[in-house]
Amino acid sequence: MASAHSIPSIEERFEFTSGAKRNLLIGGGVGLALVALGAYLAATGGGHEAAAHGAEHAANAIGHATAEHAASGHEAAAAAEGHHAKSWVARIWANLWVNGVYFAGISVIGMFFISYNYLAQAGWSAVFKRVPEALPAFLPFTGIVLLVTFFFGGHDLFHWTHEGLYEVGGSEYDKIIAGKRGYLNTPFFVGRLVLYFALWYGLWRVIRNLSLQEDEIGGTEFYEKSIRFGTAFLVVFGVTSSTSAWDFIMSIDTHWFSTMFGWYTLASWHVAGLAVITLTVVMLRERGYLRAVNASHLRDLGKFIFAFSIFWTYVWFAQFLLIYYANLPEETIYYLERFRGYGGFYKAPFFITLFLNFFFPFLVLMTRDSKFTHSILKVACWSVIIGHYMDFYTNIMPGTVGAGAELGALEWGFFLIFLCAFAYSIASQLEKANLIPRNHPMLEESLHHDIA
C-alpha cells in the first residue's frame, strides 16, 4: 500500500516513441495480413460451406418460426439460392460494423467518464484524467467507418433497408417492418448517425480545449465551464446512448426488440471503456509515467471494472430472464438463433462472453490486493476488452451474416487493426499535453487520494 506522503512530480510529458509507433504499425500490418488471409479463405473455400449452412438454417427457420418469422426464413432461403458471393463480402462489412460500433462506444465512454466525474465534482480521478480524455479522439475514425460501411454494406447488414418490405401487397411485404418505417429509414438513420458523432465529438472538443487551456492559464473558470458542458453531454448521451444502440445493433434484428437494449449496450461499452482506461493507466505506469497515480487510484479503477462487469451481467440477465420466462415467440427467436440457429455456431461465443465478462473479472478482482496489482489488473482488463468484443459479435453477427459467420483470421485481423489504430490515437493524444492536468482544481485532492 503506497502511502500518500511522498508525491512524485506532476510535470511529465508522454513521449510516443518511434519504437512504440513501429510496434503499433506492425500490429496493424499483421491485422491487415490476417484480414487478407481471412478474406481469401472465405472467398475461395468458406462460401459453399456457408451456403450449405444457410440452406439448413432456412429449413430450420421455416420449421420453427411462427408465421411472423416466415419472412426471414424466405430471406435465408433466397440467400442460399442466389447470393453465394454475398456471404463473405457481407462478413467483411459485418466485421467493420462490429468493430466500428465497439470502438466508437469505447471512445465515447472516455467522454462519459470525464463528464460524470465533472458533474459529481469528483476529485480522485483528476490525476489520470488525460487518459479518458484521450479516448474520444478516435470517434471521427469510427464514425467514418460506420458511415462508409452503411453506404456500401448497409443492404447486406440491415434487413430493413430492403425496399420490397414496404410495398403493400408485394411478395416481400412485411407489415411489422413497414410499421417501423417512420424511424427506420435510410435518410433518418444516416442523419442520426451523423448527429450522434457530431454531438459526441463536438462536446468532447469543447471539454478538451477547456482542459488544455486550463493547463496553461489556470483558475477555476475552465472547471466551472467543463461541469456545464459535461452535464450537457450527459443529457445528450442519456438519449443517444440508447438510440444509437437501437440503430447500430438492435435494428439488425428488425422484428425483435428489447426495452433493456439501450442499457445493455451502454453497460457493455462502459465496462469496456473502463477497462481501456485502466489498462492505459497501468501501461503508462509500467513505462515510468503517472507515478502520481497511487494504489488507491488503481484500486478504485479496479472496483469500477468489478462493479460494472456485475452491472453488465445484471442487465444481460434481466433481458434474458424476462424473455426466457415470458416465452413469447417473437422475443425468444433472438436467443434461439444464438443457441441453436446456424448449426449452433453462436453458442460458444455466447457463453465465452459470459465467462470473460462476468465470472473471470468477478473472481479475479474480488480481493483487495488484486485491484492494485498491475499484472492482475492487466489480465482482467484484457478479459473484459476481448469479452465485450465477443458480446458485440454475438449481438451483430447472427442477424447480418448468420450461417456465414466464423471467428477466424478475418475477425481477429479486423479487431487487431482497430485495436492498434485506437492505441495509436490514444498515444498521440496523450503526447499533446502534460500527462497530469497541472492546474485542475481537484488535483491536490487527487494526489492525496487515500482509501486506506
- Is residue 394 within 8 A of residue 341, CB to CB? The reply is no
Based on CB atoms, which residue is closest to other proteins, 115 or 446? 446
Position 144 contacts other proteins (CB under 8 A): no
Pick the stretch among 118-126, 239-247, 315-323, 398-406 that binds other proteins (CB under 8 A): 315-323
- 36 sits near other proteins (criterion: CB under 8 A): no
Tell me if 67 contacts other proteins by CB under 8 A: no
Residues 6+ apart with CB under 8 A from 265: 105, 241, 242, 244, 245, 249
Q: For other proteins, which stretch binds (CB under 8 A), given 110-118, 241-249, 271-279, 313-321?
A: 313-321
Nearest CB to other proteins, comparing residues 192 and 448: 448
Cβ-based nearer residue to other proteins, 172 or 450: 450
The residue among 337, 348, 247, 416 whose CA lies nearest residue 64 is: 337
66 binds other proteins (CB under 8 A): no
Among 261, 318, 257, CA closest to 68: 257
Q: Which of 183, 246, 317, 360 binds other proteins (CB under 8 A)?
A: 317
Q: Considering beta carbons, is residue 14 or 316 the nearer one to other proteins?
A: 316
**Which H or E run includes 33?**
helix 18-41
Q: 324 or 382: whose CB is closer to other proteins?
A: 324
Q: How far is the CB of 314 from other proteins (least distance, A)?
A: 9
- List Cα–Cα distances, 321 to 71, 97, 266, 296, 406, in angstroms: 27, 28, 19, 37, 27
- Which secondary-structure segment (H or E) carries 60? helix 47-64
Q: 7 or 366, CB closer to other proteins?
A: 366
Q: Does 183 bind other proteins (CB under 8 A)?
A: no
Residue 348 interacting with other proteins (CB under 8 A): no
325 makes contact with other proteins (CB under 8 A): yes
Q: Does 44 engage in binding with other proteins (CB under 8 A)?
A: no
- Cβ 202 to other proteins shortest distance, Å: 40
Going by C-alpha positions, the residue among 105, 128, 440, 124 that lies closest to residue 281 is: 128
Nearer to other proteins, 12 or 330 (CB): 330
32 or 310: CB nearest other proteins? 310
Identity of the residue, 367 or 375, whose beta carbon is nearer to other proteins in the bound complex: 367
- Whether the Cβ atoms of residue 140 and residue 232 lie closer than 8 Å to each other: no
Residue number with CB closer to other proteins (134 or 354): 354
6 lies in the binding site for other proteins (CB under 8 A):
no
Which is closer to other proteins, CB of 18 or CB of 325?
Answer: 325
Angstrom CA distances, 358 to 312, 345, 353, 362, stand at 8, 21, 8, 6
> DSSP alpha helices (H): ranges in 158-260?
175-179, 186-217, 221-248
Show the cell assigned to 450.
487515500
Q: Tell the smallest beta-carbon distance from residue 351 to other proteins (Å).
A: 13
Other C-beta atoms lying within 10 Å of the C-beta of residue 239 = 12
- As measured in angstroms, the least distance from the Cβ of 2 to other proteins is 11
Q: Examine residue 194 and tell whether it contacts other proteins (CB under 8 A).
A: no
- HSE, CB side, 13 Å, CA atoms: give it for residue 117: 25
Amino acid of residue 37: L
Note the Cα 246 to chain centre separation in Å.
Answer: 14
Residue partners of 283: CB distance under 8 A and separation at least 6: 378
CB of residue 448 vs other proteins: minimum separation in angstroms? 8
Q: Does 450 bind other proteins (CB under 8 A)?
A: yes
The least distance separating other proteins from the CB of residue 324, rounded to whole angstroms, comes to 5
Binding mask 360-389 for other proteins (x = CB under 8 A): ------xxx---------------------
Closest to 47 (Cα-Cα) out of 77, 90, 76: 90
Considering only 1, 7, 36, 78, the residue that binds other proteins (CB under 8 A) is 1
Distances (CA, A) of 452 to 37, 126, 133, 294, 369: 52, 19, 27, 11, 12
Task: Confirm or reject binding of residue 320 to other proteins (CB under 8 A).
Answer: yes
The single-letter code of the amino acid at 388 is H
Please report how close the Cβ of residue 452 comes to other proteins at its closest, in angstroms: 6
The contact set with other proteins (CB under 8 A) reads 1, 3, 317, 320-321, 324-325, 327, 366-368, 450, 452
